Chain A
Amino acid sequence: MSEHHTHEQTTRSPYAARIRAIEALLLEKGVLTEPEVQDSISYMEARSPANGAKLVARAWVDDEFKELLLSDGKAAAAQLGMDPEHPAEFVVVENTPKVHNLIVCTLCSCYPRAILGRPPDWYKSFEYRSRAVREPRAVMREFGYEPPEGVEVVVHDSTADVRYMVLPMRPPDTEDLGEEELARLVTRDSLVGASVPRASATTP
């Protein structure tokens, strides 16, 4: 092996060349076009948990929007300029003082990609997929979160065409924060329910 190889190259998956081969062949045969592939890449890059944070922050300050978000997630997302093209249903479930929700896909890795982009690696792991349904409280503890006494934990296994997102509770003492500042408190993990939003801008 030449000394010019970087560490990255020596540990590269053999599947990297395979997918490039597949891409090249599909383009040569006209099965797909370059623009289609590029658009597909851009589609996913444009999506991130920031979209979820925006939906949550708006729901925290606007009760009508919150009602819409909980009754018709796709319409709410469209209202904020997000484009949830995918035909699957998008359902937002609300955390309350009595109920904390946790989302998982035990069968694969269903996640509201059209809104939030790619799921975190841990969400796709065998460990999360096996344990979240059976010991949700232990899993949340690993994320540093313990629901208060008397709070019911509700797990949603997205086994079919519905993609779920959690609407976390608004952290206390945030009355004087604007929507953008509120959105910054909403973490990707809190949208899955593995933990809760940051308490303030200075909380890690």
Chain B
Amino acid sequence: MGGSPGGPIDKSPHEVEDWERLADAINSALGARGLQSTDEHRRAIESLQNYRDLSYYERWVAATEKLLVQKGVLTDDEISDRAAEIERRWGGT
């Protein structure tokens, strides 16, 4: 990354969304509990196939998910099922 060519820097601020705050918080809380380390999380981010297609916090969530599944704390299915339920609820019908 360092030294590669790059375009102009976008200095526009973006309001942190609640889900992004939550991503930060879950990450720290898991770290404080010793369930994942900063370095594991970084490594998980780097290993994402679609790294360049995701936003900063999307990468964070994807990495946290990857680690939780790898460590057997949660399963991919549980997360997907619950996420779908939540989306349905937000859909508002």
CB-contacts of A120-159 with B (<8 A): 120-122, 124-131, 133-134, 139, 142-143, 157
Chain A residues numbered 7-60 whose CB sits less than 8 Å from any CB in chain B: 9, 12-26, 29, 31-32, 36-37, 39-41, 43-45
Within the complex, which residue of A25, A29, A107, A127 is in contact with B7, where a contact is CB–CB below 8 Å?
A127
Given the known inter-chain contacts A21-B86, A22-B68, A36-B32, please indicate yes or no for A139 contacting B25, CB distance below 8 A: no
Cβ contact within 8 Å between B6 and A130: yes
Nearest to B11 among chain A residues (CB) is A122
Most buried by B among A15, A23, A121: A15
Contact residue among B3, B6, B83, B92 (Cβ-Cβ distance under 8 Å from A2): B92
Contact of A40 among B26, B42, B73, B84 (CB under 8 A): B26
Q: Report A-chain residues with C-beta under 8 Å of the C-beta of B87.
A: 14, 17
Docked-complex contact A22 and B2, CB < 8 angstroms: no
Give the docked Cα–Cα distance between A168 and B16 (Å): 27
Q: Nearest residue in B to A5 (C-beta to C-beta)?
A: B92
C-beta contact mask, B1-33 vs A, less than 8 Å → 1, else 0?
Answer: 111111111111110110101111110111011
Q: Is the CB of A16 within 8 A of B17?
A: yes
CB pair A130–B56 under 8 Å, yes or no, is: no
Is A134 within 8 A of B3, CB to CB? yes
Asked whether A187 is an interface residue with its Cβ less than 8 Å from the other chain, the reply is: no
Please, which residues of chain A bring their CB within 8 A of the CB of B73?
26, 29, 31
What A residues does B65 contact at CB under 8 A?
18, 22
Q: Are B23 and A19 in contact (CB under 8 A)?
A: yes
B83 to chain A, nearest CB (A): 4
Report the Cα distance A167→B12, complex, angstroms: 24
In the complex, the answer to whether B6 meets A22 with C-beta atoms within 8 Å is no
Contact for B25 among A24, A37, A157, CB less than 8 A: A37
Set of chain B residues within 8 Å of A15, measured between Cβ atoms: 19, 23, 54, 57-58, 61-62
A→B interface (CB under 8 Å): 2, 4-5, 9, 12-26, 29, 31-32, 36-37, 39-41, 43-45, 104, 106-109, 118, 120-122, 124-131, 133-134, 139, 142-143, 157
A-binding residues in B (CB < 8 A): 1-14, 16-17, 19, 21-26, 28-30, 32-33, 35, 42, 45, 52, 54-58, 61-62, 64-65, 68, 73-74, 78-87, 90-93
17 A-B contacts (beta carbon < 8 Å): A15-B62, A17-B87, A18-B61, A19-B61, A21-B81, A22-B74, A25-B74, A36-B29, A36-B32, A37-B26, A44-B28, A118-B16, A118-B24, A122-B10, A122-B11, A127-B6, A130-B1
